[in-house]
Amino acid sequence: MRTVVVAVSALAVAGIAAAGCGGASDQKAEAPTIVAGFYPLAWVAEQVAAPGTHVVNLTPAGAEPHDLELSPSDVRKVSDADLVVYVGGGFQPALEDAVAQRDGPSLDVLRPEESDPHIWLDPVRFSQAIHDLGQALGRPAAARKLEQTLAEIDTLYGRALRGCARTTFVTTHAAFSRLAKRYGLTQLSLAGRTPEAEPGPKEIERLVAAVKTSGAPVVFAEPLVAKDLAATVAREADVDVSFLDPLEGLSSERLDAGDDYASVMLDNLKALTKALECR
């Protein structure tokens, strides 16, 4: 299901007190709620929505969004929200099912013709999703401010990833195809588009050979996923293990430390430039 939101008047008037006389004058309009499927969308909603808007991230801190299962209370949150923002295409099937049952406006930031859901790892493409959300909320100026932040990240990536000694990097799952294409790199992934995919012994042998052939000095594991597969392939290929964050969620500890989408994207850039031996 894809529902494109053009305007959400309930959110545009966030925080306006209900008018009335007597006791009614003490009543205030309930703060609007945006439900986001997982961290990057929640981060954007918090930046773009009007002050006082309540943003709910359905995926708990430190959890993988692919594994999201909705409790009855989660389904009610989806049903009652003023706006639901999500990535379609089967990225979070339980949420898509709940969205299909709701009456209110929803925004699928994945376009119908797109098959790879990891749009947030391409700053240029993610900026377009931010624009769409800004239009939906009647907050284009706030969206433009955030789009500028992503434009700066894109510039840093473009400059840093020019003239590297190698262009192939190895990841645990195929989350970085969009980023690789944007900056002229090649992603060699150990699994498919979900980190739960587990290759068999013969496939691992093939992957080890591919890593050796690529010349990549590092296999990138992910912070929220067990690094067993990455460690096994790295050991057999005689290369190191490092971390590249697909930004599908941040742990409570990292959020408390002040990490966010922008800072993690810059950390990823440092990891890539080191592994690719960029000048």
**In order of start, what are the domains of the chain with their CATH numbers?**
9-13+29-157 (3.40.50.1980), 163-275 (3.40.50.1980)
Distance between the two ends of the chain, CA-based, in angstroms?
Answer: 45
* DSSP secondary structure letters along 143-159: HHHHHHHHHHHHHHHHH
Q: 172 and 195 in contact (C-beta within 8 Å)?
A: yes
What is the arithmetic mean of pLDDT over 131-155? 98
pLDDT tier at 26 (50, 70, 90 boundaries)? very low
The DSSP string of 224-247 is: TS--HHHHHHHHHHT-EEEE----
Q: What is the pLDDT of residues 112-129, one digit of tens each?
A: 999 999 999 999 999 999
Q: In percent, how much of the chain has pLDDT > 70?
A: 87
pLDDT in tens, 82-107: 999 999 999 999 999 999 999 999 99
Burial class (CB in 10 A: 0-12, 13-18, 19+), 51: exposed
Residue 29: predicted pLDDT: 62
Nearest to 275 by CA among 121, 149, 170, 136: 170
Question: Which strand (E) or helix (H) includes residue 179?
Answer: helix 177-182
Residue 33 pLDDT > 90: yes
Q: Are 189 and 180 in contact (CB under 8 A)?
A: no
What pLDDT, on a 0 to 100 scale, did the predictor assign at position 221? 96
Q: What is the pLDDT of residue 27?
A: 41
pLDDT tens per residue, range 265-274 = 999 999 999 9
* Whole-number average pLDDT of the chain: 90
Coil vs helix vs strand at 220: strand
**Range among 90-94, 197-201, 226-230 with highest mean pLDDT value:** 90-94
- CA distances, 48 to each of 11, 54, 105, 111, 139 (Å): 11, 12, 17, 21, 7
In angstroms, rounded to a whole number, what is the distance separating the alpha carbons of residues 251 and 177? 24
Q: Which two tokens stand for residue 26?
A: 């003490």
* Contact between 212 and 237 (Cβ < 8 Å): yes
- In the predicted structure, residue 263 carries a pLDDT above the cut 60: yes
Calculate the CA 57 to chain-centre distance: 12
The encoded tokens of residue 95 equal 């949420």
Name the band, by pLDDT with cuts 50, 70 and 90, for residue 195: low
pLDDT, residue 197, reads 63
Q: What is the pLDDT of residue 193?
A: 57
Bridge partner list, 242? 220
